[in-house]
Structure 1
Amino acid sequence: KILMTTDLVCGLLCLAISFITNDSLMIAALIFANIVQAIAFGFSRPANKAIITEVVEKEEIVTYNAHLELVLQVVSVCSPVFSFLVLQFASLHMTLLLDALTFFIAFVLVAFLPKEEAKVQERKQFTEKDIFSDIKDGLAYIWHQKEIFFLLLVASSVNFFFAAFEFLLPFSNRLYGVKGAYATILTLGAIGSILGALVANKMKSSMRILLFLLLLAGIGVFIMGLPLPPYLSFSGNLVCEFFVTIFDIHVFSQVQTKVEDDYLGRVLSTIYTLAVLFMPIAKGLMTWLPSVRMESFLLIGAGVILFSLLAQLVAKQLQSKKQ
């Protein structure tokens, strides 16, 4: 229902905006639409991850997530070209109509997804108290599931370093003194993500392996700060995205397979919320400090490496206590 509602709202909004002819109103409407879509995305993203367990067998979730990530990365590479062609040969109004159409198609596809037999529940009015109660129950569940809690903590915390890394990337042309450096780095990153998605389902998923993947991703970032030939330095992003993609696929797969269905949505929402919370902190720090320099790649990479090593030690202690 969440996915269908968000798709329907966004589709109707794009459709309505496509009929606006006044330029000033169009600008205001587009800003409003972006805000609404951002809010809708906040609801639909965890819902999309949560619904996977209803339509995909547990043992197939890693493979599904790997294939999904592969498709998403290919689309992310192709979409700028497609968008350019659409804007070249179609008006803004036609583009909005096309956007609305994609939302309506998504709405229909979700409506036809196979559904589990609904549980019989007593119908009652949903109140603000229920919302806070659900949040409290979700946090309590995460706290008591130590492995999930640790995984969530690692995945969210490491986002601090990668947010700083993403802040630095747009300055690549200036940092490397190479025209088109930023575009090349992004392209190599996309290739790394595609390759990572291709091999992710062939790897075993354990805490030790996940943390080792983070370490290797940190090495990729570190490479970008070394005094190497530019294109060799650029390849650090390929290495980074390759291992980060595998890490992300297995993290979400573990959450989807180990968390009870009743709590899955709340756990996923917590992951996304914590990840978003770290981003402004990291980017604010990068803005405040004189961070636009090559050494920042070294510091960020070293931070990821040290964090993964520290997490390895903590994971071993947790494992020994469990035994």
Structure 2
Amino acid sequence: MSKESRNIVRLIARGQTNKFGNLVYDYGNKLLIAGLGAKAGFYMSLYQSGETIVGIIFDLIGGVFADTRDRKRILVVTDLLAALATFIVWLLFSTRNAALLVVVNIVLAILYAFNSPTYKAIVKDLLSKANIYRYNSYSKTISEFISVVSPLLGMFLISALGFRAGMLVNAASFLISAAIEWRFEPIVTPKPRSALKRSTLAAMRQGFGYIWHDRELMVVLVASSLINFFFAGYEFALPFTNQMGHFAHLYAYILIAESVGNIIGATLNGLWGKDLSLRQYSHFLLGVALPIVILPFVSFHWLVPVVLCGLSSGFMTVFNVQMFSSLQTTVAAEYLGRVFSVIFTVAILFMPVGTFFFATFSHTSWLIFSWVGAGELVVYLVMVAVIRSGHR
């Protein structure tokens, strides 16, 4: 097996191990919080928005570290610390101290702010351009198979062993991820990171400057931040769908349907075998918005929301795979970590606002989804208009 093939296998194994642990952990935590009665909305807002606010603060610094430090070492150290944090919450948690979930989630978000841009940037160190598209399609497809299994396994684990089981599973997943990352093999000898070190503020300015002079990156940046405002409302509302639909496992089935939609989207993207332009792949946002717009008006049976959420998620997958692959192949390697961190920082900038905004809506009404979908539809229409004006 060639070095790049080994790297693809390791990248996928690491990503999916990490994803599995996080999904089981997050699924259990959100169900636990949603069952806290009158305090549920308050804790859900803190749980969801806390990690977003941390991301806004730390993502830019994480991107600088990804470009100026040893990327493999950053991944290993942050995953080991995440394993320790989730193991501690497993030891100490009880339903009387639900705030501990919020605190540990913030700690994990800080570590993720360094881990995420580094993981995305290291792909260019490990794979050639042709294999980056191949890896992203394979990874997304396998990732969604994991997403199908995780809610089901999470449901059984939590029913049999309680909410703390997800915490222990997540701690183990971080440990396995760190072991896999240690075996990554760069395809070229990387530049000594010490030679690239510079002040954090100067490095940030260079990252912003790189994006500012690229019109397409700016369009992606603004559209992502607006889409995520409404997506925050969608994520906030999902754990309450059990109450909306009067069906005990609706939330789990929606998560599974989203994963099935993502598998189909990633598979179709891989079969195309080509990258699309921003003008082409932006139209997939229409497929993201429309199913959510109509959801409240056709939710007469629990199966309808399941199908519509899965359809919307599938279109979002195609959009995201195309966007990430385009960034990983076109952005200069020495700027990649900062470009990713800037894009993700600005993209999540309005998510806390979105979370608290939609927390004012009724937790038991399907109408919240119509507002989410309508907002995403407006973002799509404005994005298409801006892209067209740039091609005249």
- Is residue 158 from structure 1 mapped to residue 250 from structure 2 by the alignment? no
Residues 1:10 and 2:82 are matched in the alignment: yes
User: Counterparts in 2 of 1:195-274, with a 5 A limit?
Assistant: 195-203=264-272, 204-227=275-298, 229-230=300-301, 231-274=303-346
- The alpha-carbon deviation at position 23 of structure 1 amounts to 8.3
Aligned residue number for residue 237 of structure 2? 168
Report if aligned partners of 2:87, 2:167 keep a CA contact under 8 Å in 1: no
Extract unaligned runs of 5+ from structure 1. none
Q: Normalized against structure 2, the TM-score is what? A: 0.69
Flag the 1:74–1:133 CA change in 2: closer, same or farther, 3 A. same
Q: Pick which of 183-192 and 217-226 moved more.
A: 183-192
Number of aligned residue pairs: 314
> Within 2, Cα distance between the matches of 1:93 and 1:235?
29
Higher RCO by CA contacts (8 Å cutoff, separation 6 or greater): 2
What is the deviation of 1:81? 4.7
The 5 A counterparts of 1:294-309 are 294-309=366-381
Q: 1:317 maps to which residue? A: 389
**CA deviations over 1:123-163 (Å, ceiling 9, x no partner):** 59x67xx0111111101111011111212222222111211
Cα 1:53–1:180 shift into 2, 3 Å: same
Counterpart residue identity of residue 221, structure 2: L
For residue 55 of structure 1, what is the aligned residue in structure 2? 126
2:217 corresponds to which of 148, 160, 163: 148
Counterparts in 2 of 1:208 and 1:291: CA distance versus 1, 3 Å: farther
Residue 246 of structure 1: how far off its partner (Å): 1.0
Structure 2 SS opposite 1:277? coil
* One-letter amino acid of the structure 1 residue matched with residue 339 of structure 2: V
Amino acid at match of 1:184: Y
Equivalent-residue separation in structure 2 for 1:178 and 1:12 (angstroms): 36
Which residue identity is paired with 2:308? G
- Distance 1:186-1:95 versus aligned 2 partners, 3 A rule: closer
Q: Are the counterparts in 2 of residues 224 and 234 from structure 1 also a CA contact under 8 Å?
A: no
> Contact between 1:8 and 1:104, CA under 8 Å: does it hold in 2?
yes
> Aligned residue for 2:107?
36
Instruction: Measure, in 1, the Cα distance between the counterparts of 2:287 and 2:239.
Output: 23
User: Once structures 1 and 2 are overlaid, which stretch shifts more, 252-261 or 187-196?
Assistant: 187-196
* RMSD, matched Cα: 3.4
User: How far is the alpha carbon of 1:75 from its aligned partner?
Assistant: 2.0
Q: Alpha carbons of 1:175 and 1:69: their partners in 2 closer, same or farther (altered >3 Å)? A: same
Gaps of 5+ in 2: 1-72
Distance 1:4 1:81 in 2: 29
What is the CA–CA distance in structure 1 between the aligned matches of 2:171 and 2:75, rounded to whole Å? 15
Give the whole-Å Cα distance in 2 for the aligned partners of 1:306 and 1:22.
42
Q: What is the rounded CA distance, in whole Å, between the counterparts of 2:248 and 2:151 in structure 1?
A: 20
Whole-angstrom CA distance in 1 between matches of 2:306 and 2:141? 22
Tell me, in whole angstroms, the C-alpha distance in 1 between the residues paired with 2:373 and 2:100. Answer: 41
The residue number in structure 2 matching 1:286 is: 358
Cα gap change, 1:119 to 1:162, in 2 (>3 Å): same
The reply on whether 1:190 has 2:259 as its aligned counterpart is yes
Q: Give the secondary structure class of the aligned counterpart of 2:351.
A: helix
TM-score by length of 1: 0.83
CA separation of 1:207 and 1:94: change in aligned 2, threshold 3 A:
closer
CA 1:88–1:289 in 2, change beyond 3 Å: closer, same or farther? closer
CA distance in 2, matches of 1:187, 1:12: 29
Shift of 1:165: 1.6
Which residue identity lines up with residue 72 of structure 1 in the other structure?
A: S
TM-fit CA distance, 1:190: 1.9
Kept in 2, the 8 Å contact 1:224–1:235? The answer is: no
- Conserved in 2, the CA contact under 8 Å of 1:220 and 1:238? no
In 1, Cα distance between equivalents of 2:100 and 2:182: 28
Amino acid in the other structure paired with 2:128:
E
| C-alpha distance 167-37 of structure 1, shift in aligned 2 (>3 A) | closer
